């Protein structure tokens, strides 16, 4: 059992500010699925998907720096570029092969940045990608991310109303059917905001959520020449549908699937 409160599995110890849970080992010949959650989330996001993916290969769920059970250092290095570099280091240190990067929301943006680097290498380890409502271009930010630009007010709100109420409100605003937001979900997603370090890390990540060089990064998307599945919902309220459509045009080998009656958190809303 992992010591992560979010998903069951074996913790993989790496000398990086990440928390990595191995849900399935695979047999060395099967794909390795590297799962990257969204902003304010954790590997708990993938609890419905991992049992099915485990039948197909090795599954590694990553709580990236500042989120879930991962370390939360006060170094302010929480931009997507920093997180993508850590993902690349993880792949290198574990000598992963036949990698499929699966990223939701911010995790998808991190996966895309990592893929841009991995696809420039002579030895290819990245086989495929799945991007779920992933930011990729300059766009307006949702209110719960813009809160990080006003840290004093945000800290006051968290103290005044509590992290659970804040998470419940945010989730209900981005899913198609608010009734899916259970108390178990609220408790899991609010866990990291119960500490000062968790709040500070979330705000630092929110302030840097769009890469400083996002326009330059967007220009490199055409070099990511691996088969890519883009999953959006027809009720998306965080990353607009045009982002998925543009990604399908810019990526050499990609297709978009739009799920009906689904909002931003598809691993929760439509786990099948």
pLDDT of residue 240: 94
Confidence band of 30 (pLDDT split at 50, 70, 90): confident
In the chain, where the domains are located:
10-140+211-269
Confidence band of 1 (pLDDT split at 50, 70, 90): very low
Token code pair at residue 206: 């929110």
pLDDT of residue 215: 86
What value does the mean pLDDT take over residues 150-161?
81
Question: How does pLDDT run across 132-144, given as a tens digit for each residue?
Answer: 999 999 898 887 7
Strand ordering across the sheet containing 58-63: 10-12, 19-24, 58-63, 32-36, 99-104, 126-132, 228-233, 254-259
**Which burial class, exposed, middle or buried, applies to 119 when counting CB atoms under 10 A from its CB (0-12, 13-18, 19+)?**
middle
- Is the per-residue pLDDT at 7 higher than 80? no
Q: Can you identify the CATH homologous superfamily of domain 10-140+211-269?
A: Alpha/Beta hydrolase fold, catalytic domain (3.40.50.1820)
pLDDT of residue 2: 40
């Amino acid at each position: 059992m992992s010591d992560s409160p979010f998903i069951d599995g074996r913790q993989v110890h790496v000398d990086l500010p990440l928390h990595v849970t191995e849900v399935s080992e695979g047999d060395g010949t099967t794909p390795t699925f590297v799962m990257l959650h969204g902003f304010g989330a954790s590997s708990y996001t993938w609890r419905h998907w991992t049992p099915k993916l485990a039948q197909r290969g090795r599954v590694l769920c990553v709580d990236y720096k500042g989120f879930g059970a991962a370390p939360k250092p006060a170094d302010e290095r929480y931009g997507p570029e920093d997180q993508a570099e850590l993902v690349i280091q993880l792949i290198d240190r574990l000598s992963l092969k036949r990698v499929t990067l699966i990223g939701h929301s911010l995790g998808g943006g991190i996966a895309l940045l990592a893929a841009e680097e991995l696809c420039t290498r002579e030895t290819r380890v990245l086989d495929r990608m799945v991007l779920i409502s992933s930011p990729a271009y300059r766009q307006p930010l949702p209110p719960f991310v813009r809160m990080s630009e006003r840290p004093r007010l945000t800290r006051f709100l968290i103290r005044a109303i509590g992290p659970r109420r804040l998470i419940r409100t945010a989730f209900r605003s981005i899913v198609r059917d608010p009734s899916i937001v259970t108390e178990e979900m609220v408790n899991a997603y609010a866990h990291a905001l119960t500490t000062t370090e968790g709040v500070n890390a979330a705000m630092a990540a929110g302030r840097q959520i769009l890469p400083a060089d996002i326009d330059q990064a967007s220009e490199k998307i055409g070099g990511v020449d691996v088969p890519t599945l883009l999953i959006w919902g027809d009720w998306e309220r965080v990353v607009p549908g045009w982002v998925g459509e543009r990604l399908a045009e810019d990526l050499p080998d990609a297709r978009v699937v739009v799920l009906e009656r689904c909002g931003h958190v598809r691993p929760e809303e439509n786990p099948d």
